[in-house]
Amino acid sequence: MTMSSLERQCTLGLGFIYALRGFGMFLLAPLLSLYAVNLSGATPLTLGIALGIYGLAQAILQIPFGMASDRWGRKPVIIAGLLIFILGSVVAANSHSVYGLIVGRVLQGSGAISAVVLALLSDIVRDTERTKAMAILGVSIGATFTLSLVLGPVLSNWMDIPGLFLLTALLAVLSIVALYTLVPHEPKQHIVSAANVGSMTASVWQPRLIQLYISVFSLHILLALVFVALPFVMRDVLHLPVNKHWHVYLPALLCSFVCMLPFFYLEKKLKSIFKLFILPIVLLAGVQVVWMLQQYQSVFIVIAVLTVFFSAFNFLEAVLPSKISKVAPVVAKGKAMGVYSAAQYVGLFVGGMSGGVLLKSMSISAVFVAGIVVTCSWMIGMALLDRRTLH
């Protein structure tokens, strides 16, 4: 079967919103730690809080936003979340202390609409086409993540970090426009039926779903850990100014697009989530080992290792939403998406906080040791849950 024109319009429209908001969110990832360290009240601990608090706010509010959308409709809740995000961006842009930055990041994170966007997609796109639509959204996230890493340092030449915060606010405004011009109207019958579901007691804790929750949680811990430490590696070890960090990111990202293709071939062949994910997890662990051993004295080594990281990360970022949509029970897709999104942002918070603490109390290598612990725990958890799925 193929998507109808309505389903294509919905998927592309929501993908565009994801791309705009994701670009604004990821744009600051490689720059925020270097910027915040110069604000009044900045310490490695408050730096870690500023990086991670966004994820904590997102994690706490994903399920409440999803429940609100069941009662009042998806689009009004998405708009409310985007308006809160805009407010947070403006507050962060006008902050002169790390504490003001933290308040702005909390407000940005309080616009927790990821699960609602996925729920709206599920309302409009048929179940037979939903996996394809979720994969398109996943690819849009991975693509905007990679694009933002390249353009962030370049844009920082033209505007300062407060200017980038204001740019993220503008992108959120464009997302609201896109919501009403590109995305079809949500079915009215959804609001009535969803309200009758009540607490949505259908199980979302089956082993295969837990494997996916653990995966997105661990993946985003690694993302936060890497981007707490890597900007300092490039500045202090490779002696690259911030406006030239894209010299490392761009070739790594371009190479990763080619290197991730074999993963998608395996995705068609392997039915077990554990078997499909084990190779990307091993590669992510290998990246942490190389950097723990301080093998980043050469730009070429960093590019090569970062290519491996991006290949594994972008593949998992694209496939995970599709797997959630396919594995979750039909009556509990919204709740499963809420748990999935919450796990994603808890991972960002834990990674940002722990990375900041380790950077303060120990060293850059300690951050990568934490990454090794995360990947090993991830593999063990996946293996144990895989055994349960076989019984």
**Domain-located, residue 161:** yes
| Length, in residues, of the chain | 391
Q: What is the pTM of this model?
A: 0.74
pLDDT of residue 217: 92
89 near 103, Cβ under 8 Å?
no
pLDDT of residue 57: 85
**Domain-located, residue 193:** no
Helix 261-269 and helix 246-259: axis angle, to 10°? 30
Domain range holding 11? Answer: 5-185+203-389
**Domain-located, residue 195:** no
Chain centroid to CA 258? 21
∠ CA 362-368-369 to the nearest 5 degrees?
75
216 near 118, Cβ under 8 Å?
no
Which residues of the chain are under the pLDDT cut of 70? 1, 24-25, 29-30, 33-34, 44, 127-128, 130-131, 135, 138-139, 142-143, 145-146, 149, 153, 186-203, 242-243, 267, 270-271, 325, 330-334, 388-391
- What average pLDDT does the structure give for the chain? 79
Collect all residues with Cβ–Cβ distance below 8 Å to 280 and sequence separation of at least 6. 263, 311, 312, 313, 315, 316
pLDDT of residue 138: 66
Residue 151: CATH number of its domain: 1.20.1250.20
**Domain-located, residue 129:** yes
Inter-CA distances, 191 with 62, 160, 181, 354, 385, Å: 18, 43, 21, 40, 35
pLDDT of residue 192: 41
pLDDT of residue 109: 85
**Domain-located, residue 55:** yes
Collect all residues with Cβ–Cβ distance below 8 Å to 88 and sequence separation of at least 6. 103, 104, 105, 106, 107, 108, 109, 110, 111
Backbone phi, then psi, for 160, in 5-degree steps? -80, 180
Into how many domains does the chain fold? Answer: 1
Task: Say how many Å lie between the first and final Cα of the chain, rounded.
Answer: 33
pLDDT of residue 122: 77
| Helical spans, DSSP H, in 328-363 | 333-361
Rounded-to-integer distance, Cα 335 and Cα 31, Å: 34
Rounded-to-integer distance, Cα 58 and Cα 305, Å: 30
**Domain-located, residue 154:** yes
Give 22's Cβ-side CA count (13 Å radius): 21
**Domain-located, residue 190:** no
**Domain-located, residue 192:** no
In percent, how much of the chain has pLDDT > 70? 83
Backbone phi, then psi, for 156, in 5-degree steps? -65, -15
Rounded-to-integer distance, Cα 132 and Cα 167, Å: 31
pLDDT of residue 312: 87
Burial class (CB in 10 A: 0-12, 13-18, 19+), 380: exposed
**40 beta partners:** 97
pLDDT of residue 190: 47
60: left (phi over 0), alpha (psi -120 to 50) or beta: alpha
Number of neighbouring beta carbons within 10 Å of residue 261: 10
SS3 (DSSP) at 294: coil
For residue 197, give both structure tokens: 């579901």
348 near 54, Cβ under 8 Å?
yes
